[in-house]
Amino acid sequence: MTIRTAPTLPDGVEWTAVVVAAHRAAESLSDRPAFRDPLAEAVVRHLGLAAPGRPPNFGSMPGEMAGTTALMGDLVVVRTLHIDQALTDAGLDQVVLLGAGLDGRAYRMPWTGRRIFELELPAGLALKDEAARAAGLKPIAGRTPVPADLAGDWPTDLFAAGFDPSRPTAWVAEGLTVYLTRAEADLLMSRVRGLSAPGSRLHIEIAQPIGERLTHDTATDDGMHRLVSVLRYGPPTPPHDWIAGHGWSPDALTLAELGNSYGRKVNDTWDPARGGIDLWYFDSGLLPARPA
Ligand SMILES: C[S@@+](CC[C@H](N)C(=O)[O-])C[C@H]1O[C@@H](n2cnc3c(N)ncnc32)[C@H](O)[C@@H]1O
């Protein structure tokens, strides 16, 4: 008889990082993967969400995962490809992942010489370290974990970890802003702008109007209730003026546009043309400072 140990999924908002890591693992372990993600593979194995070498089965995932993983469709794969490309094209050697979760870029991108700061709640980083250790994974790029709450005084922690504000930075907020309040998102953007040397870039995902579509009334299972309970909705709709108001060029593509360009199907939930939620991906440079 095989005794299966129950997966130890995180309790708080860090749980959402497992949902997206499961998608990257599924892609990584598919027959024709668009990318490989050894860290995501290690996470699903570590948590008992998939058998070794097998992709997670979204239809029967334990731990309240099935509904939310089905909701995502190809969202995570498309945004991963897009942000990988944007970071590679920008070529900046100081990268800050805001709400890094189980992002595996430090383990999978050929970025020797880049410094990748991973700002994330302590429990999220602990899970990542456990999974990497269990799989014997070592980062390729200069990974610097920074355990911190983005609603707190994270710049102090980032400086202590060796962040250099005189160098241009690539900031990444991928799958983050829906979990922040509007005030937290505003504060985050002000601080990011203040720490950005000329030449910095901002890669940020904004989903709206998510609060009207994903609610406890529309939730179909416990996982969806769990997702709804950690949503805080973040930036305003549409977000372009908000981005510009925080000093960044409002250049964005939608997930539906990116899905077409990568030949991946975006499900109805994320396609406003079919009644879904707008998802924008901003690849922004700094706007000239406004006269005081
Ligand atoms: C959906 S996950 C995305 C993770 C990662 N960016 C990715 O795309 O794989 C959202 C992440 O934001 C983190 N997060 C949410 N609120 C946060 C906060 N106040 N401080 C630090 N991290 C936070 C969560 O813990 C979680 O890991």
- 79-95 pLDDT tens trace: 999 999 999 999 999 99
Atom of ligand 1 nearest to the CA of 102: 9
The pLDDT assigned to 221 comes to 80
Q: State mean pLDDT over 149-164.
A: 97
- For ligand 1, atom 13, the nearest C-alpha belongs to 99
Atom of ligand 1 nearest to the CA of 103: 9
Task: Kindly give the distance from the C-alpha atom of residue 226 to the centroid of ligand 1, in angstroms, as a whole number.
Answer: 15
Amino acid at 17: A
The pLDDT assigned to 5 comes to 54
Same domain, 67 and 105: no
The pLDDT assigned to 272 comes to 85
Same domain, 139 and 114: yes
Structurally, the chain folds into a number of domains equal to: 2
Q: State mean pLDDT over 152-165.
A: 98
> Which residues form the pocket of ligand 1, taking CB atoms under 6 Å from any ligand atom?
13-14, 16-17, 20, 99-103, 120-121, 124, 149-151, 174-176, 179
Going through 99-241 in order, the beta strands assigned E by DSSP cover: 115-120, 142-147, 170-173, 201-208
Same domain, 65 and 137: no
Same domain, 29 and 150: no
Q: Is there a domain that residue 1 lies in?
A: no
Average the pLDDT over each of 127-131, 181-185, 267-271 and give the range with the smallest value.
267-271
Q: Is there a domain that residue 3 lies in?
A: no
Same domain, 82 and 47: no
The pLDDT assigned to 1 comes to 45
- For ligand 1, atom 12, the nearest C-alpha belongs to 99
> Please, what's the b/e burial string for 36-58 (b: 16 or more CB within 10 A of its CB; e: otherwise)?
ebbbbbbbbbbbebbeeeebbeb
Q: Is there a domain that residue 106 lies in?
A: yes
Q: Is there a domain that residue 20 lies in?
A: yes
User: Has residue 208 got a pLDDT over 90?
Assistant: no
From 16, 76, 231, give the residue whose CB has the most ligand 1 atoms within 8 Å, as the site to mutate: 16
User: Has residue 206 got a pLDDT over 70?
Assistant: yes
Query: Range of 51's domain?
Result: 15-71
Q: Domain holding 235: CATH number?
A: 3.40.50.150
Same domain, 146 and 187: yes
Same domain, 43 and 170: no
Residue in 32, 128, 35, 15 with CA at minimum distance from that of residue 83? 35
Per the model's pLDDT, the better-predicted residue between 11 and 190 turns out to be 190
Using CA atoms, how far apart are residues 218 and 189, in angstroms rounded to an integer?
31
Same domain, 60 and 81: no
> Are 132 and 39 in contact, with CB atoms under 8 Å apart?
yes
Same domain, 65 and 91: no
Same domain, 98 and 221: yes
Same domain, 65 and 202: no
Q: State mean pLDDT over 90-105.
A: 98
Q: State mean pLDDT over 23-37.
A: 96
Task: Kindly give the distance from the C-alpha atom of residue 99 to the centroid of ligand 1, in angstroms, as a whole number.
Answer: 4
Contacts of 164 (CB under 8 A, 6+ apart): 94
Same domain, 126 and 202: yes
- Decide which of 56, 71, 86 is a domain's last residue: 71
The pLDDT assigned to 292 comes to 61
Number of other residues whose CB lies within 10 A of the CB of residue 266:
23
Q: Is there a domain that residue 273 lies in?
A: yes
Structure tokens at 166: 């005189």
